[in-house]
Amino acid sequence: MNMHNIHKTALIGTGYWGSIIAKTLTKITKKKIIVFDKNKQNSNLLKKKFKQIVAAKNINEILLNKSIENIILATHPSINFKLGKEVLKKKKNLFVEKPIVTNQNKLLKLIKLSEKNNKIFMGGYIYLYNSFIRKIKTILNKKQLGQIKFIEIQRKNLGPIRNEIDSHLDLGSHDISILKYFFKKKVVVKNIVKRNILKKNISDISSINLKIGQINCEIISSWLNPTKERKILIIGSKKMLVFDEMEKTNKLKIFNKYAFYPPLTKFKKDYTSNSARIYLGKTKKIKVKENDTLRNELIHFEKKCFKNQEPLTNGRFCLDVLKTINYKS
List of residues contacting ligand NAD (CB under 6 A): 12-18, 36-39, 42, 74-77, 79, 83, 97-98, 124, 126, 160, 170
Q: Are 69 and 306 in contact (CB under 8 A)?
A: no
Task: Select 17 or 327, whichever has its Cβ closest to ligand NAD.
Answer: 17
Beta strands 53-55 and 33-36 are: parallel
Q: How far is the CB of 274 from ligand NAD (least distance, A)?
A: 45
Q: State yes or no: cis peptide before 263, omega within 30 of 0.
A: no
Q: How far is the CB of 120 from ligand NAD (least distance, A)?
A: 18
Task: Select 45 or 284, whichever has its Cβ closest to ligand NAD.
Answer: 45
Distance CA 323, CA 103 (A): 9
Task: Give backbone dihedrals phi and psi of 233, rounded to 5 degrees, phi first.
Answer: -120, 125
Q: Are 322 and 99 in contact (CB under 8 A)?
A: yes
Distance CA 38, CA 63 (A): 14
Q: How far is the CB of 311 from ligand NAD (least distance, A)?
A: 14
Distance CA 179, CA 192 (A): 16
Q: Are 181 and 129 in contact (CB under 8 A)?
A: no
Task: Select 149 or 231, whichever has its Cβ closest to ligand NAD.
Answer: 231
Name the closest residue to ligand NAD (Cβ): 15
Task: Select 96 or 215, whichever has its Cβ closest to ligand NAD.
Answer: 96
Q: How far is the CB of 265 from ligand NAD (least distance, A)?
A: 50
Task: Select 145 or 178, whichever has its Cβ closest to ligand NAD.
Answer: 178
Q: How far is the CB of 290 from ligand NAD (least distance, A)?
A: 16
Within 8 A by CB and 6+ apart from 132, the residues are: 243, 245, 251, 252, 288, 290
Supply the DSSP symbol for 171. Answer: T
Task: Select 42 or 114, whichever has its Cβ closest to ligand NAD.
Answer: 42
Q: How far is the CB of 224 from ligand NAD (least distance, A)?
A: 16
Task: Select 76 or 211, whichever has its Cβ closest to ligand NAD.
Answer: 76
Q: Are 254 and 169 in contact (CB under 8 A)?
A: no
Beta strands 252-260 and 93-96 are: unpaired
Q: How far is the CB of 148 from ligand NAD (least distance, A)?
A: 26
Q: Are 239 and 257 in contact (CB under 8 A)?
A: yes
